[in-house]
Amino acid sequence: MGFKDNLRKIAPYIPGEQPKDVSKVIKLNTNENPYPASAKAEEIACNLRDDKMRLYPPTDAGKLSRAIARYYGVPEKNTFVGVGSDDVLATAFIACFNSDKPILFPDVTYSFYDVWAELYKIPYKTVPLDDDFKIVKEDYLQENGGIVIANPNAPTSINLPLEDVEFIIKNNPDSVVIVDEAYVDFGGESAIPLLGKYDNLMVVQTFSKSRSMAGMRIGYAFASDAIIQAMNDVKFSINSYTMNYPAVEMGVAAIDDEEYYKATIAKIVKTREKAVKELKKRDFTVLDSKTNFLFISHKRVKALKLFADLKNRGIFVRHWDKPRIGNFLRVTVGTDAQMKKLYEALDEILAE
Ligand code: PMP
């Protein structure tokens, strides 16, 4: 017996590897944006004045939540911001999932969901995707204490049509349905237009992918008054000052630079569509991606070998040693130049 018996034992989420010197590798393993953030956001970094350090920041990050709310046409009172969507989602798990019935999420999805469920002792049940890795909406008609789906899903990259998302929300009026839209800007359909219709819906998005700001840690959610109230009550029970000044100021600048945001997304989508063709030419099965990454499996060579051989050549991709997806790789869409290096490396490896 000792203090160690009282320490929390939990198998944590394992993020993708962040190499010490990023300039030495082609980093296609954590779905970051290969292009820089808006120059307008970068400018702010150099212009922060002293009182931005000395004083606590506003607890509601009001300037940022107002800018986000205005951009998406949602009332500010129905907007919540947090330290990346991981923070928003973790808060939402505590705020929204307090039933004895299990929450539901797909068997193949963002691998943080089961970690939060374990951490907060929320009962959960995974719902298998079909053989094509698609969400089957009817499977979410069973009894549950809440639902969380990533749409487009990760790591599968597949988008669930909005009418199917609505089917799940509509048929579960007694549960909060969280739709995690981390990748929606690359070709998915947001559930934001459904917010006025369903009080049990929460939509979560992030600046980490489409706005190239993973390092600033900005995420946000939209939901009904009751849900936002619960979110704030939980937040103020843990840490009132989640958003620091630079994040707020840079976030506002990024939201205001719509032109750059749209142009960056268009570039990534174009590179992605080219990548689909290049990979299929090399005998990969490529799932239909509406994200900034591709989920691929080679017809002959095992994913783990490809993962290791690419890493040896300085190209980082993601692999999970998990049921159903063990022979897949998740490859973030990089710049055209980075992708060219990927195809060259694959040609060498596949020729062996
Ligand atoms: N949801 C999904 C599906 C993700 O893949 C990620 C990125 N790991 C996140 C949420 C969290 O992103 P962030 O905290 O950077 O907003």
Q: How far is CA 330 from CA 28, 61, 94, 226, 249, in A?
A: 8, 34, 29, 37, 33
**For the domain 3-37+259-351, what is the CATH superfamily, name and number?**
Aspartate Aminotransferase, domain 1 (3.90.1150.10)
Mutate to test the pocket of ligand 1, among 206, 289, 292, 293 (most ligand atoms within 8 A of CB): 206
State the Cα–Cα distance between residues 266 and 253, nearest whole angstrom.
Answer: 20
What contacts 13, CB < 8 A, 6 or more positions away? 111, 112, 115
Strand-strand pairing, 103-106 and 284-286: unpaired
Averaged pLDDT in 10-residue chunks for the chain of 352 residues: 93 91 92 93 76 84 97 98 98 98 98 98 98 98 98 98 98 98 98 98 98 97 98 97 94 96 98 98 98 98 98 97 97 98 98 92
Atom index in ligand 1 nearest the CA of residue 217 equals: 15
pLDDT of residue 1: 80
Task: Report how far apart, in Å, the C-alpha atoms of 145 and of each of 84, 167, 269 are.
Answer: 25, 17, 36
> How much distance in Å is there from the Cα of 49 to the middle of ligand 1?
30
pTM beyond 0.85: the answer is: yes
Closest residue CA from atom 6 of ligand 1? 182
Q: What is the pLDDT of residue 50?
A: 65
Token reading at 304: 């783990």
Helix (H) or strand (E) holding 250: helix 245-256
Residue 294 CA from chain centroid, whole number? 14
- Using CB distances shorter than 6 Å, the residues near ligand 1 are 84-86, 110, 150, 154, 180, 182, 206, 208, 214, 219
Instruction: Select the CATH number that applies to the domain covering 39-258 from these four: 3.20.20.105, 2.30.29.30, 3.40.640.10, 3.40.50.720.
Output: 3.40.640.10
CA of 207 to the centre of ligand 1 (A): 10
Domain positions in the chain: 3-37+259-351, 39-258
Tokens 């990024």 belong to 254
**Distance from the alpha carbon of residue 183 to the mean position of ligand 1, in angstroms:** 8
Count of beta carbons in the 10 Å neighbourhood of residue 172: 21
Scored b (16 or more CB within 10 A) or e, 19-31 reads eeeeeebbbbbbb
**Distance from C-alpha of 70 to C-alpha of 94, rounded to nearest angstrom:** 27
